[in-house]
Structure 1
């Protein structure tokens, strides 16, 4: 179990041999070893080993029940669980090479930032609340789905937001709120997050949302690159 010492602002974390200290992240910003994204202004770090974790990544629970996979509990894995390389995140489709939340029985894997996406959001473009959809709600042969905000194609086999009453919705990155008040329930250890003030928790939750959006953008970029490679092979 991870433990936090509030007096000297250190944490003992399962992923590292040395205590991690809550510090101002050095410049240039280092990569978080849990999600492979740049650290925010504050992080838990071991300067000796140049090892850093976002606060939200460092305080992720060892196990959690996630609505995208209700049949089984997800367990925190510190390395990709597959011998042949990265895992594919079942939330966004982007490959992961670091921490994940996993159901070994079903080979179901999530990036930590993806597990933090709020299940429901309210958006100024629509009068009703939108719910995060984890599985294709339409018939398998449905074609022509698009995002009602950006009007671009929507892959309904990946997570997206939807108002089922109005059939209105779209990409997670389009409908994600500018400010995130809370994370997906059950992601963090409550007694860990009590160590921080409300403003700091708010900053960290919004940082994790931005990390998730970065993953989405990375997935889009990879898709464009792969499409270019495919076209080149036809030339």
Structure 2
């Protein structure tokens, strides 16, 4: 007798009467020369040798780490949706007789600690997302799909590496961030630092104007520029400006270009070639002096320069990056908003280190989310770089964030963290922004110092980012919509002054 059948069973070691059959308990195939048990009452019940020696139902119950009740071992294969992997597959199983809990036997047999091919550290198997990580959405690092907090997963606490169990067990390697041969001509980001980023932006302007101007011709010594009332003379030297501070003391600093508002430095091969006015502080990079007044943009359409001659003290807010500027701005035909020259000159395609395909300027909208800041890419007027193959999108302002930045609170440069797995070693605790004191969502990019353990949101790293494209040096720069005047305070930082004369610094 066997508990799985009401009749007596007898062995049938060499059963030549059948071609193939299956065990009625576990559905294992029985064929030629197989030992098995069959029913003496000729009811065609067959039992394989493995099931014949299996313990009774009570003895076949186990305690499993994932469930509070005992689970019954079900050897017969069945097709069901597993509560562990959430896949519908045919397998033997572990089933709870008290509540509706049912998992594949292969899932239930997985070890709690597994050394897998997709990560540098061993991964723990958990029946749900640990509470410490539930404050933000978490995504599988292999398939990039959101991890359901109630489902089983593999994870690494040190690196915040999460993976669905079927993804973690797959043998398909994760694509690393390597460029193809035809990516060499594209602009590769992020730039190493702010200085490299300025050179990169100047090259973008150079490439933009080369489409309409022959830049190989030797530049003239003296020019009359459409944006300035005085002649501009060509200079070939390291550029510095002598300005007067509030105490009438001379101070020396770099000359800022009145076109792109970035420093004119002698470190680049031709960035030190500038046009400068001998009567005032007006100066332009050589290539900024060649920027045309009208151009066609692949995404924004026909653009016309918004001249600064009559509006020299007005700050314009760029529609794309939302940064104020008193440099060259362009306005689409028939519209009332502006783009600064840095955004207008961005290349149509770039290659970012975080993605293995080139990214192309595309229209935003349609629910696309920026992978850097996790906010929606909305509005056709926003310049977004997106992959034509994958669901990968970046705001142009996020894509251009430099890899390292200095900060006055840390003696070391802070590094842009693009991936916890690749950029931070052994940091199981939360990352808290030093500026706003909020916990940082590690699915987003942020700045961090591995030595001092200081972290900042991308926007918090520089609270004065709003004025990054403003050339200071003259009083009375106005921001029309708030009727305020922007000046430099005694520490060289922007301060806002209302008409009543009350002054205050931006948040420090």
> TM-score, with normalisation over the residues of structure 1?
0.60
Tell me how far 1:91 sits from its aligned partner: 0.8
Counterpart CA distance in 2 for 1:173 and 1:19 is 29
Match of 1:90 in 2: 371
Evaluate the alpha carbon distance shift between residue 175 and residue 7 of structure 1 in structure 2; reply closer, same or farther with a 3 A threshold.
Answer: closer
Q: Distance in 2 between matches of 1:22 and 1:12?
A: 15
Q: Is the 8 A contact 1:87 1:109 kept in 2?
A: yes
- For structure 1, list consecutive stretches of 5 or more residues without a partner in the other structure: 181-201, 206-235
Spell out the pairing of 1:114-153 with structure 2 (5 A cutoff): 114-137=398-421, 142=428, 144-153=430-439
- Counterpart of 2:305 in structure 1 is 21
- Write the mapping of 1:175-186 to structure 2, written as runs, cut at 5 A: 175-176=461-462, 178=464
CA distance in 2, matches of 1:125, 1:39: 25
Q: Secondary structure at the match of 1:18?
A: strand
Does the residue aligned with 1:153 lie in a helix, a strand or coil? coil
Report the Cα distance in structure 2 between the residues aligned to 1:28 and 1:203, rounded to whole angstroms: 10
- Quickly say closer, same or farther: Cα 1:102–1:135, change in 2 above 3 A: same
Distance 1:148 1:46 in 2: 39
**Counterpart-to-counterpart distance in 2, 1:122 and 1:8:** 35
Tell me the SS of whatever aligns to 1:131: strand
Instruction: Show the counterpart of 2:346.
Output: 60
> Which structure is higher in helix share?
1
SS of residue matched to 2:440:
coil
SS at match of 2:338: strand
Residue 442 of structure 2 corresponds to which residue in structure 1? 156
Q: More strand per residue: 1 or 2? A: 2
Q: Which residue does the alignment assign to 2:357?
A: 72
Larger Rg: 2
Q: Could you say which structure has the greater relative contact order, defined with CA pairs below 8 angstroms and 6 or more residues apart?
A: 1
Query: Are 1:76 and 1:101, in contact at CA under 8 Å, matched by a contact in 2?
Result: yes
Distance 2:416 2:470 in 1: 21
The unaligned stretches of length 5 or more in structure 2 are: 1-206, 214-289, 472-508
Q: CA RMSD in A?
A: 3.7
Which residue number in structure 1 is paired with residue 71 of structure 2?
none
Q: 1:204 to 1:76 in 2, by over 3 A?
A: farther
Secondary structure of the equivalent of 1:87? coil
Aligned residues: 177
